[in-house]
Structure 1
Amino acid sequence: MTRRGHLPYQLLTFVIFAVSWEVYARVRGGLLIPTFTETVGASVKLLGSAELWQALYASNQALVLGFALAVGVGVPLGIVLGRFRTLERFADVYLNILLVTPMAAIIPLLGMSVGYGLAARVILVAIFAIVMVVVNSRAGVRQVDPSLIEMARSFGANERRIWTRVLLPGALPAIMTGIRLGIGRAVTGMVLVELLMVSTALGGLMLEYRGLLKAPQLYATIVIILAEALLLISVARWGERKLTGRSVR
């Protein structure tokens, strides 16, 4: 079934979710849970305010720089680890540490080492995203059929040609999947560092609205962050489809 074929089901699911939210908020919500219509109205008002756009700009500075760092380091690192198993033995333990370590525990260490400015936010976003990028890039290289490499060698291909003609094209789908998954992790890191490390930008807005008991504005800010994350993931999915020529769910 094509993605267009999924659209009616997605719309139906959204309608059920919106109606359920509206009914529950009116019956049991009270002051702390706004209705769906109140949240939509607050979202529209926020999108027309300079305060939100200033917060989005500040947050996305860390998001763009941190994610670019994660991709710029993670993709080459993952490819190299997938190609050379000896290097992987040294790096694997550190990847496992990043996978199991609660990222909130890293925030005080970053604050003590690099301060509480943009650099710390960029580093945390990169740490959040880089694991997905490295792991998927490594898996992409590993899943290349070894017989293709041997066949390329039999035709006289050197290491550079094996990389450019066999390994990288074969690993590209997995690399793009890692980038797509890394975007979601990067958005999570962006918000978490602003909530727990420094009350600024979108995280600062959320803390302000929570302190003033402005539930519609708080929920609206969360909805806008989710909408941005979904938009970025959709762009990454589109790029993956164009580069790899395959359907992406």
Structure 2
Amino acid sequence: MTATTTSRPPRRSGTRGGRTGPRPARRPGVLRRVADRNLPYQVLTFVVFAAGWELYARGQGGLLIPSFTETVEATVEMLGSAELWRAMYVSNQALVIGFAVTVVAGVPLGILLGRFRGLERLADVYLNILLVTPMAAIIPLLVMSVGFGLASRVILVTIFSIVMVVVNARAGVRQVDPSLIEMARSFGADERAVWTRVLLPGALPAIMTGVRLGLGRAVTGMVIVELLMVSDALGGLILEYRGLFQAPLLYGTIVIILAEALLLISMARWAERKLTRWAQTTTARSVR
């Protein structure tokens, strides 16, 4: 009597627990995830910059260039003073109102210019003038026509920032694929549906980029108008500390202005990611 043996099928590679299929990708470790982010590199760059600043100020700085530690101490001291917060309140009035006017007027204007070429021919020369004209040259005209009040500061902040918003909104409408518009019309879409379903969603990433860039320009306009036209608020503090040779307080004021600008731009970038998440997903899929 011969013994019969049953042969087992060969085990496939990549099986685990009797299941076939590709092995799940391993999740990267904590150190790898931290290294892939930008924060460690930003912290390293800041540390190198602070160390270089400290060494140069102690060796070659003198009266006009404070050290990094002196600037940090002056910044902390200013954050506890009522004078700084009063200046921040006065300066940010023009910033908030001027940038709100920029968004409300600039986004629709840019969309219309991108959609209607005839309207663009009429307004293109004025956009070019705003792009090439030095903004400091407009300040005397504002002083002569409007005065030194809040209105002139709001107008200058708006002029500084509205060009970026209009140009990017116009570019966003133009970069929408015309075949999508034709396809929407072939399915019976009217002009309103084309605007709400095709043009505005397609132009939204460029619009949000323009809003973010315009916000940075608005902060620049807020400071310049107070330095060159109205010696008040944050610009007045800069001029006062410069005249008294109080370099740590001068640098501390500039650091606070930069921190506010970075915070506002970070908030705008966060809103851009939230509103255009679908565009980022589509781009990632196309790259794959």
Aligned counterparts of 1:24 and 1:73: Cα–Cα separation in 2: 46
Structure 1 residues 192 and 2, CA gap change in structure 2 (3 angstroms)? farther
TM-score, normalisation: structure 1: 0.97
Asked if 1:49 is matched to 2:81, the reply is: yes
Asked if 1:208 is matched to 2:228, the reply is: no
Q: Provide Cα deviations, 1:142-178, integer angstroms capped at 9, x if missing partner.
A: 0000000000100111111100010000000000000
| Counterpart position of 1:237 | 269
Q: What amino acid is aligned across from residue 64 of structure 1 in structure 2?
A: V
Runs of 4+ residues deviating >4 angstroms: 1-4
| Counterpart position of 2:94 | 62
Secondary structure of 2:188's partner? coil
Asked if 1:36 is matched to 2:55, the reply is: no
Aligned with residue 196 of structure 1, among 225, 228, 231: 228
Aligned counterparts of 1:98 and 1:180: Cα–Cα separation in 2: 18
Alignment of 1:174-193 (within 5 A): 174-193=206-225
Structure 1 residues 57 and 123, CA gap change in structure 2 (3 angstroms)? same
Secondary structure of 1:78's partner? helix
TM-score, normalisation: structure 2: 0.84
Alignment of 1:139-178 (within 5 A): 139-178=171-210
Structure 1: 5+ residue stretches without partners: none
Aligned with residue 162 of structure 2, among 116, 130, 136: 130
Structure 2: 5+ residue stretches without partners: 1-32, 282-288
Secondary structure of 1:144's partner? coil
Aligned with residue 142 of structure 2, among 110, 118, 134: 110
Q: Provide Cα deviations, 1:101-148, integer angstroms capped at 9, x if missing partner.
A: 000000000000000110000000000000000000000000000000
**Structure with max Cα Rg:** 2
Structure 1 residues 84 and 156, CA gap change in structure 2 (3 angstroms)? same
Aligned counterparts of 1:116 and 1:149: Cα–Cα separation in 2: 48
Secondary structure of 1:18's partner? helix
Aligned alpha-carbon RMSD (Å): 1.3
Structure 1 residues 18 and 107, CA gap change in structure 2 (3 angstroms)? same
Asked which structure has the greater RCO (Cα within 8 Å, sep 6+), the reply is 1
> How much does 1:2 deviate?
9.0
Secondary structure of 1:157's partner? coil
